[in-house]
Amino acid sequence: MLAGTSQPKDTNLTFQCLILTSTNYTIWRMRMEVLLGKPRVWDVVDPGLVDAQKNNIVKGVLFQSISEYLILQIGNLKTRKEMWEAIKTRNLWADRVK
């Protein structure tokens, strides 16, 4: 770094979530894995660690990217890993059809 310059400050990143549909699970999953890896919260989903703050981040991101119908189906699951697995189970056929 040059003398007299300061290091850049951390900034809050904004992002858009792809909404999960009945036909885009593979792309949705790939994008979500990258997105959740950015704020270092993927470890909550895999292997399913218990961290309340990270769990809430994952839950918030998931809720932005799935339909209200799916939120009602999985919203009461206790861990974000359970939510991720429920989404995967419901959409696994999409991979097989392709």
* Residues making up the chain, counted from first to last: 98
What are the sequence ranges of the domains in the chain? Answer: 43-97
Tell the residue number behind the tokens 């900034």, with chain if given: 11
Reply yes or no on whether the pLDDT at 17 is more than 90: no
- Under the banding of pLDDT at 50, 70 and 90, the label for residue 36 is confident
Q: What are the tens digits of pLDDT across the range 62-83?
A: 899 999 999 999 999 888 888 9
| Angle at alpha carbon of residue 95, lines to 39 and 78, rounded to 5° | 45
Q: What is the pLDDT of residues 48-57, one digit of tens each?
A: 556 777 778 8
Alpha-helical regions (H) of the chain: 25-37, 42-45, 52-65, 68-74, 80-97
